[in-house]
Structure 1
């Protein structure tokens, strides 16, 4: 796909004129009665507006009523969202690689720079590190993906936000059992119990439990995962609503690690270390619970509250050579930590206190306490080293961080078709580390970061089905504890508290339209970032980071979807993202200078998606989708790149309902044409092991049966 050469602003204006001159109609379902377009409420912006009234790039992804995949990874459901680049590492030890408009692409594992929420409960720590592993797709109702300036309303590390909402129990009590299998001995068994309530003190409920295991596409990439999710909902007579959510996830996963180019070309399925000397792996055990409460006091005032608590335990074995660990300042080859995290969010909303206005005032409080240790990944037995085991203690510290973020939002419809949405948040994060491993010195230290984040959006509702808008916000991202864990100089121990937070100025010009040609969104954007947090190299288990004076992200996004005939729908999207260093980054030790104009690694400049689906309420359904992803550079010097690729998936299934019974079966093939490509890259790996190969042609199939009880 050629790079975009046209002037983006001119392209936007041309699209605006074309849509503005198009007659806007309801979608016709027959020749006599036009059907009204659905009114879809969005929650991510907290403005109580419909999708067509929201001046932001926000995408809602609804889970299909009939399962079309094994429901294991988020990559199965967000393919067509243009602002997201979500990559499957085929490595369950390191989670998915998620970036939004280029934010978060530097992450070597987990999620950085993106805010994640499940039923209003944060899945992101106060410092911006998060994970997607606790999202239960089998009980999921929908996702909202918020990007652009409006996401700064969520404070630190909000280069974008993903809000997952699980279903609420409805109707009669029911049970659903499911099983899916596929390539590489993938197996997933699931059970869902659910039911509604007709009494205010009796909750509706949905309880979901699943077990997944696989041998893995690559050697030494097997994994198993237990995921349980429960949600109780009370709808009280005074209008109050209470949700209580509890989630548990346990993962045991082997880690095949990245490959260098020669290894990838020779055998993409191999483990990095042919002898698997260190038995690299990760064990995760996480439990969290939370409650949300909303209460309308009257027509003008409403209260909202949320509180949560969680515990996460991780043990990770790395392939760090014994020779590197002989450095007295090295933290060892086994990471072992236990983390407690908790917080709350309280908000008041007032409507019509002034004519045509809406105000929200709130405060979010989050805290994380972590007991972190490091051990050598070997023991000496009879004079010989035994690897891949927990050895001598090399790191022992208590880490804590917290924030108290007050925020204010206001919306004012100052003319019948014009609205101004504004917001401001004081974002602050406080770090503290208490060192208990003193043989290499006392590395205890603390620091704090803070920033005031204003935002504003102006929108014009030209027609109920046509909305242009313009928005601006200040962004803020602190380094995470993990990114500060090591000094860039390997001869020094302790945290790298010299890292600065990055700040950004974010601009967006957008258009939304619903007309007889379908639903359209167009957006052009630009983010200018100061002190961007970038990699300073990754070697021997130590990923280090530094600041780049300036980086620049600019691009355009387009989506279109339409019900073209009866139950036949089409969805298409395209995104262009030019992410570059906007100033020279000087050399640091063995790390070479990064010249201005180099591409930020891990980010594709072009991506496109088109999907065609036949989805009736019952009977046979089918779909075909194709995804294109441009090449991505593997390091700051742009010395190598994972090539562009185009892949296709196809699926079919049958859904049937009769009386109190329901039945669904599906079969699908992914990577239909067996493309050999890199699913993701490990950015700036010091050993040039950048590439994480994607699976070749692979299949999955499943069946589910449900029964409602009287």
Structure 2
């Protein structure tokens, strides 16, 4: 199964060993030119190792001190990670489209199949649905992106993991004021207050608040967003550390929806509903708070605990005509729900209980309770429907979900240069729906999903500058409540509890090297999935899903970065991902049959990135980058594609510090050559409205002023 890739890997090992030996020789032959390489710690694998020592595909993105973006969404800072495809829909009602090694590409809104965390606190709902809109870029310290088998340690829906870590208050009290503006009347104003602890056992703090609004690139794509974040950190006398994080986000966004190919070619900025009859839009409000605590008991034992709770309200108006809602089983054209969710994670870590070993044992608990209503999206005026108004009740139910996941990890250095990392997690998810709208029958139901998820990684430190590893893990992903909300057959009411969870076998072989020629990573991977959750069509704003018997994803990742002369840096990466249906899917109703060998939609086979930047501590800075994304199929039958594209960005700015004052000003141009391309696709849209056009050439500029007290 892996023989061609293994041959390729062995070739790379031989080459890398030769290169690494030449690095050592060069360093020994000219000690005066030796370069002290930075040590980069990573936390995603919970192994307390450096990035170089971690036997997994993990990438760390540090927020630059000289911010050169408007800090509105992750696409501004997450670039160049191979096999991570982060697409900007130019639609703030639906969030970004994020996939890793093909997992999550089916999502028509939000993030699926990938776990998101901020300061150790889940930004993914217990059912596996997440969003990036509550990540505060102005207070962000760094991101860790974990792909591959190791991510299964996070349980359900962990086809990949993104861990965001916000800054901690330090030094003098300070205030930071910022403003950024740009094309389409974009405006963002931000305020950050921060300071370190004055006395022992007192907290450091950082509080940030921002307001963003835009008219949008497309017609009817106006958006407003309020984002507040606060973090208190205590470093106590006994060595323990406490973080308390609170986050609030409120969004109002109009939704221009997808376009068919003819509409896109005629005018990519138009709204799908040319007369804006339905006034499609979404309102989101979310409040979340959480606490993390870690304490070393002694040199051998350490404890960790996390607890969180939150509430999320969403009201969404869809473009569904009255004629479709005449069906007594229809749930209406307005989605209105409130979710309350909470959870905890407790973990013990023991070191050297056996020679050269580390053990971790934990228990994760999550619960979600949702009150969901559906309403008609019109009122009758003189016998005719007036759309965009909340009408009669058509759906009323209470949905609950909970899981209790025990897990265990172990790391054993059984030889000086060989290490075995292993883990197992029992992931179980329990769904229950209680129907209160009984005029069309009682659709109450419940179901359970569970799976044991083992993982193992063997690594070999060939040289101090070179690590090789191979790993395997089982993956598990349950459908979200949103994915089960509607049946593919509109005549059937209630939840689609017939959806099965997907189960995957994930393999990876990788190399890492850190030396005077830069940081290098290389990985070959394969994921074979049974009962993959795929789209069964999107019509009138309703997304439905079904299972594919077998799918197969395989590919290659490569990344290299290097700091050259003085403050000149280069980053480059390449990802190849071949994602196929590995078995045919029969036709069901109006949903067409899928042939074996078809490409899974929403996934680019090739992607590449090149970035060059001048980043001094002070003074002028500048950078340029270019990204290539291959064509993307829009549906399971591969009837059409969004074409490949290459886009470039360029920026410059000036950063200045003097005593207690700091200043940063920037200007940038994105899509420098005004490429007309689809930022994302709406997979399997039943009306062929697949395409969400990206912005053309656009600019932004901003200033930031900081004062310490």
Q: Same fold (TM over 0.5)?
A: yes
Would you say the 8 A contact 1:27–1:37 is kept in 2? Answer: no
Measured after TM superposition, the shift of residue 25 of structure 1 is: 4.6
- Which residue does 1:185 correspond to in 2? 185
- Does the CA-based 8 Å contact 1:27-1:515 persist in structure 2? no
1:381 is aligned to: 381
Q: How far, CA to CA, are the matches of 1:623 and 1:10 in structure 2? A: 38
* Partner Cα separation in structure 1 for residue 305 and residue 557 of structure 2: 35
Shift of 1:126: 1.6
Which residue is equivalent to 2:679? 679
| More displaced stretch, 193-202 vs 294-303 | 193-202
1:664 match: 664
Task: Name 1:48's counterpart in structure 2.
Answer: 48
SS in structure 2 opposite 1:324?
helix
Determine the structure 2 residue equivalent to 1:38. 38
1:583 matched to 2:583: yes
Contact 1:518–1:563 (Cα < 8 Å) also in 2: yes
Query: Aligned in 2, Cα 1:355/1:27: closer, same or farther, shift over 3 Å?
Result: same
Q: CA deviation at 1:373?
A: 0.3
Measured after TM superposition, the shift of residue 24 of structure 1 is 2.9
Cα distance in structure 2, aligned partners of 1:27 and 1:513 = 16
Q: Distance in 1 between matches of 2:566 and 2:8?
A: 32
In 2: Cα distance, 1:476 partner to 1:424 partner: 12
Distance between the aligned counterparts of 2:450 and 2:372, measured in 1? 25
Contact 1:630 1:643 in 2 (8 A): yes
What displacement does 1:199 show? 2.2
Superposed CA deviations along residues 446-490 of structure 1, whole A, max 9, x for unmatched, are: 001000000000000112211000000000000111111111111
Mapped to 2, the partners of 1:48 and 1:541 lie a distance apart of 45
Secondary structure, aligned partner of 2:484: coil
Q: What is the CA-CA distance between 1:382 and the residue it aligns to?
A: 2.6
1:599 positional shift:
0.1
The within-5 A match list for 1:237-252 is 237-252=237-252
Q: How does 1:565-584 map to 2 (within 5 A)?
A: 565-584=565-584
Q: Which moved more, 1:515-524 or 1:242-251?
A: 515-524
Which residue is equivalent to 1:80? 80
CA contact (8 A) 2:417 2:460 kept: yes
Q: Which moved more, 1:604-613 or 1:200-209?
A: 200-209
- Please give the residue correspondences for 1:243-392 in structure 2 after superposition, counting only pairs within 5 Å: 243-392=243-392
Q: 2:16 aligns with which of 19, 22, 32?
A: 19
In structure 1, the partner of 2:608 is 608
Partner residue of 2:707? 707
Say how many residue pairs are matched: 703
Distance in 2 separating the partners of 1:416 and 1:622:
44
What's the secondary structure of 2:564's corresponding residue?
strand
CA distance in 1, matches of 2:24, 2:185: 50
Partner of 1:487: 487
Give the match's secondary structure for 1:21. helix
Distance 1:279 1:26, change over 3 A: farther
Report deviation, 1:37. Answer: 1.1
- Aligned-partner Cα distance in 2 for 1:26–1:683: 53
User: What is the alpha-carbon distance in structure 2 between the residues aligned to residue 488 and residue 301 of structure 1?
Assistant: 51
1:111 aligns with 2:108: no
Q: Indicate the residue corresponding to 1:137 in structure 2.
A: 137
Q: How does 1:628-667 map to 2 (within 5 A)?
A: 628-667=628-667
C-alpha contact (below 8 Å) 1:483/1:543 kept by paired residues: yes
Aligned equivalents of 2:381, 2:269: Cα separation in 1 = 32
Alignment correspondent of 1:454 = 454
Partner of 1:624: 624
| Equivalent position of 2:7 in the other structure | 10
After superposition, give the CA deviation of every residue in 1:332-366 in whole Å (9 maximum; x if it has no partner). Answer: 00000011010000000000000000000000000
- Contact residue 83 and residue 576 of structure 2 kept, 8 A: no
Q: For residues 411-490 of structure 1, what are the structure 2 equivalents within 5 Å?
A: 411-490=411-490
Provide the C-alpha distance between the structure 2 equivalents of 1:96 and 1:276, rounded to a whole number of angstroms. 23
Structure 2 vs 1, CA of residues 674 and 25 (structure 1 numbering), >3 Å: closer, same or farther?
A: farther
Distance 1:27 1:156, change over 3 A: farther
Does the 8 Å CA contact 2:678/2:691 hold for their aligned counterparts?
yes
> 1:227 and 1:682 mapped to 2: Cα distance?
27
- Give the SS at the match of 1:461: strand
Could you list the per-position Cα deviations for residues 638-682 of structure 1 after superposition, in whole angstroms to 9, with x for gaps in the alignment? 000000000000000000000010000000000000000000000
Note if contact 2:37-2:515 (Cα within 8 Å) is conserved in structure 1. Answer: no
1:592 to partner: Cα distance? 1.4
Partner of 2:165: 165
Take 1:384 and 1:18, find their aligned partners in 2: how far apart are those partners?
A: 73
TM-score, with structure 1 as normaliser: 0.98
Displacement of 1:7: 4.5
Shift of 1:254: 0.3
Structure-2 separation of matches of 1:567 and 1:31: 22
Q: Deviations over 1:420-448 (max 9, x none)?
A: 00000000000000000000000000001
Contact 1:24 1:514 in 2 (8 A): no
Q: Is the 8 A contact 2:249 2:285 kept in 1?
A: yes
Structure 1 contact 145–163 (Cα < 8 Å) conserved? yes
Inter-partner Cα distance in structure 2 for 1:36 and 1:403: 46
Q: 1:218 to 1:25 in 2, by over 3 A?
A: farther
8 A Cα contact 2:201 2:237, kept in partner: no
SS at match of 1:264: helix
Q: Which moved more, 1:674-683 or 1:195-204?
A: 195-204
Give unmatched runs, 5+ long, in structure 2. Answer: none
For residues 546-569 of structure 1, give each alpha carbon's deviation from its aligned partner in whole angstroms, at most 9, with x where no partner exists. Answer: 111100000000000001211000
1:402 matches 2:399: no
Aligned to 1:3: none
Per the TM alignment, residue 31 of structure 1 is displaced from its structure 2 partner at its CA by 8.0
Q: Distance in 1 between matches of 2:198 and 2:364?
A: 33
C-alpha deviations, 1:59-84, integer Å up to 9, x for none?
A: 00000011110000101111111121
* Two-structure CA RMSD over aligned residues (Å): 1.2
Q: Offset at 1:15?
A: 1.9
Which residue pairs with 2:59 in the alignment? 59
Equivalents in 2 of 1:472, 1:9: separation in Å?
15
Deviation for aligned residue 1:541: 2.4
Q: Secondary structure at the match of 1:24?
A: helix
Instruction: Identify the residue that residue 204 of structure 1 maps to in structure 2.
Output: 204
In 1: Cα distance, 2:648 partner to 2:491 partner: 48
**Partner SS, residue 53 of structure 1:** coil
SS of corresponding position for 1:32: helix
Note the alpha carbon deviations across 1:77-133, whole angstroms, 9 max, x for none: 111111210000000000000000000000000000000000011011121111001
Q: Which range moves more in the overlay, 623-632 or 382-391?
A: 382-391
